[in-house]
Chain A
Amino acid sequence: MRRLPPIAQLTVCSLALVVVGGILMASYVPRQPPLAVPAALTAVSAVLTLTSGFLLSRLEQFAWPRFFLAFRWALLAYVISAGMIGFAFVRDHTRGAPLALVIVMLVIFALDVPVVIAFTVARYSSPPYASS
């Protein structure tokens, strides 16, 4: 089996961190949540997402057409999903820094899930599994 960089693992860790951050934020609703821990989790999560993006961009002999096909449809689905979560926070009067942090978390969430789906799909359409 071809060894690929740990892109899926990094992306899932990033997803887990924003989920934990989101739980921390949600557990304070309707009060103002302390932002230090969620912000730190989001920062680490963003670094992991960027790292996996960087590793992904360096892949050779990878089924990029299949990656982008899966990525764009998954992105559409998860942008809608993230939009609904964001809408619920806005509807519940989350404003200012907490809302900004929630939006950053949702952007990471909406990127991480499509990346892990598209990467998993494309890796099994790339050599040695496929000739393209």
Chain B
Amino acid sequence: MTDVGNVQAGTAEGTPGPRQSRVQVVPLRGLPVVAAVVVFVIASIAGNWLWALTFCHVVGGALWTAIDLFVGLIVGPILGRLSIPARAEFTARFMPKMVLLMPTLVLMTLAAGFQLALKEGNLAPGNPNHAWLIASYCVVGVMAVIALGVLEPANITVLVEMRKQRPDGQVIASLMRRFIYTAGITGLMQVATLIIMTRVATQ
């Protein structure tokens, strides 16, 4: 993983111009899907609809955790061993999708999860799950600060850089290092989430 950034530096300089102009920071075709998901989550919360809240929380949470771990542990190391053009091609197609996908999954999971916990009485002080849920808030808090304050700005800046006529390889390399530095913390937090959620579901 460590060499991802270095090869990215070469990638950007060696990639032909026309391909970079096709890099889309936000895939506009995905926006209606995101809007539909947001409306569905709002309707689930407003209606306090148990099935829909459970669906949003379980599906969103499962995808969030699985994608995070899969990308960090499987895709990342493979990407590090690809050729320079292959890596640029993959990044240009993969990262815009993540810009839409991950915030939507996070929003879906957390909003539905909080409402579900409240509805099920898990937030009551005497409930055995209360302490576990506070622990999950802390885990989510750490992941939120890393994702929103460190990774998302880097992700969008890399995409903006790749759209330029002559992308700066050093900029892309330094920003990509943020993903490597935080992968361990994010992975640890996701494992903690799995432990907490399976505890909550079985108490």
Contact = CB atoms under 8 A, between A and B. Distances in A.
A54 interface: no
A80 interface: yes
Interface size class of A (residues with CB under 8 A): 35 or more
Chain A facing B: main interface SS: helix
Interface size class of B (residues with CB under 8 A): 20 to 34
B137 A26 contact: yes
B26 interface: yes
A73 B100 CA distance: 13
State the 5 A-B residue pairs at the shortest beta-carbon distance, nearest first: A120-B153, A12-B149, A23-B137, A117-B153, A19-B141
Contacts of B168: 124, 129
Given A113-B152, A121-B153, A124-B168, A16 B42 contact: no
Contacts of A73: 26
Which of B38, B134, B148, B154 counts the most chain A CB atoms within 10 A? B148
Nearest to A118: B153
A58 interface: no
B145 A19 contact: yes
A2 to B, nearest CB: 12
A69 to B, nearest CB: 9
Contact of B160 (A11, A19, A31, A121): A121
Contacts of B45: 87-88, 91
A121 B125 CA distance: 44
14 contacts: A11-B149, A15-B149, A19-B141, A19-B145, A31-B125, A66-B160, A70-B156, A85-B111, A88-B111, A92-B118, A112-B149, A117-B156, A120-B153, A124-B161
B46 interface: yes
Contact of A30 (B41, B124, B161): B124
Nearest to A14: B149
B20 interface: no
Nearest to A78: B148
A88 B46 CA distance: 8
A80 B175 CA distance: 27
B145 A15 contact: yes
A12 to B, nearest CB: 4
Given A66-B160, A80-B38, A113-B148, A120 B154 contact: yes
Contact of B153 (A20, A31, A116): A116
Interface string A57-70: 00000000010001
Nearest to B168: A129
Given A12-B145, A121-B153, A124-B168, A84 B26 contact: no
